[in-house]
Structure 1
C-alpha cells in the first residue's frame, strides 16, 4: 500500500480592479469560495482565506504519495475604489500575519490581465511582504485566451510587452503563468507550475510578522 503524506501550500493573491483576482483564487481552490462579479468599482473589501480539498496523486516522493492542500488568501483590490490605501495595507498585513505567521507564505500571485498592461500594485507587495517579496512572488496572467485570439504566442506577447512589465518579470526571476479561460484541467496545470516555483525556492517560506 502506498503511504500518504500531506502538504499544505500557502498562497495570497493580489491585483488591481477587473484583473480577475478573486476568480483566479477560486480556480486555485477548485471552488467558489471567493465572491466574484463584474462591477465598475472594486468588489473585494476584506481579506478572506479559502481551503481546497486534498488533491491525491498530485505528487509522489519515491513510493510515498503527497496529498496537496492549497490555502489561498484573497486580498482587497489595490488601489481600491472605496477604501484608503492605508486601510488596505493594514488589513492585508494583519490577515497575512494571522493566517500565515506560523507556517509562512510559499507564494504571492500578482494577478494581471494579459490584454490590459496596467500598472501593478507592487507598492503593496513591498510594504506587506517585506524586503524578500520578489523571491516569493509570481505573475499570473488572466484572460490569456485574448493573446491567442490576437494571433500571438506567449513568447511573442512577452516580446512586445512594455519595459515596465519586462522589468517586473525579470525581478521575479521570470516566474509567470498564463491562465486560459477554456483550458481543460486548468487548476491542475496552474498548480503544477506553481509547485515548480516553490521547488525552485527549495520549499522555503516567507516569514510574516
Structure 2
C-alpha cells in the first residue's frame, strides 16, 4: 500500500524517466538515516529515536507517491559498515537490500551528520561500499547531511561547514560524487521547509538518473545478487552462496 503525505501537494517535479525511483540509505549508526527516510516519506515510517545503539536491525522498504505519479521507494538499512568484523551480517543485509530493490537502485543516499566529524570509520564505510558494489556506485551517490537545525542555530550554511580547512578528505570525496549534496533538517515542523529539502533531493535523484541514461545501478556482482535474490524463496543454498561471494569480496 502506497502512502501519500501532506507534502505531496507541494511537489512539482519533472516526470522521471522511470515512474519508480528506489533510494537506499547508507550511513553510520546515529547519522540520522531513519529520520531522513521519514522526512522523504512525509511520515513516521521507520523507527527513529536517540540511542547509543542502532535502532534499525534489518533492511526495510517503505514507499510514497509524489504528485507527478512518481513512486518513491526508500530502503532503510542498519549501520552495515559500523564494524568491519561483522562482514557476515553485512552480507546478509546486502542480499536483503538487493531483494527489496526489485526495480533496481536509482540512487544511493549516503547520510552524514554535521554534528560529527568525517571520521576514518566513515571513510572506511565508503571504501566498503565501493568494495561491495564497485567504483561505479559513485555515479549513483548523493550525500545527505543531517543536522540542518544545528547549523542554523550557529548561523552557518552547509557551504561553511564543508569548506572548513579540516575537511579536506570530505571535500575530496564530495568531488568524486560530483558535489551532489543536500542538507536535511529532520526536526523542522515547517512544512514548506520539509517540502523544499525533499524537492532538492529528488531533483538530485533526477540528475543521477539522467546522467546514467535512465538506468538503475548495475554491475556484474549486483546482477548476480539480484538474480539470486529472486530465487530465495525456492533455494536456501542461494543465500549461502551469495553471502560467501560477498564475504570473499569484502575480505579481499
The TM-score bracket by the shorter chain reads 0.7 to 0.9
Q: Which has the higher helix share?
A: 2
Q: SS of the counterpart of 2:191?
A: coil
Match of 2:20 in 1: 8
Three-state SS of the structure 2 residue aligned to 1:18 is coil
Deviation at 1:45, TM superposition (A): 1.6
**Contact 2:48/2:55 (<8 A) preserved:** yes
Please give the alpha-carbon distance, in whole angstroms, between the structure 1 residues aligned to 2:51 and 2:158: 29
Uncovered stretches (5+) of structure 1, i.e. residues with no partner: 57-65
Q: How many residues end up aligned between the 2 structures?
A: 194
Query: Counterpart of 1:140?
Result: 144
Aligned match of 2:98: 97
Q: Which runs of 4+ in 1 moved over 4 A?
A: none
Which among 11, 22, 42 is matched to residue 54 of structure 2? 42
Q: How does 1:21-60 map to 2 (within 5 A)?
A: 21-52=33-64, 54-56=65-67
**Counterpart residue number, 1:109:** 109
1:129-168 equivalence runs, <5 A: 129-160=133-164, 162-168=167-173
- RMSD over aligned Cα atoms: 2.4
Partner secondary structure for residue 132 of structure 1? helix
| Number of the residue aligned with 1:86 | 87
Instruction: State how far apart, in whole Å, the 1-side matches of 2:207 and 2:22 are.
Output: 16
Partner of 1:174: 179
Q: 5+ unaligned residues in a row in structure 2: which ranges?
A: 1-14, 224-252
Which structure has the larger Rg? 2
* Alignment partners' CA distance in 1, 2:154 and 2:73: 34
Greater strand percent: which structure? Answer: 1
**Separation in 1, partners of 2:98, 2:45:** 21
TM-score relative to the length of structure 2:
0.69
Q: Deviations over 1:49-77 (max 9, x none)?
A: 1111x222xxxxxxxxx312210111111
Please give the alpha-carbon distance, in whole angstroms, between the structure 2 residues aligned to 1:176 and 1:155: 10
Q: Secondary structure at the match of 2:70?
A: strand
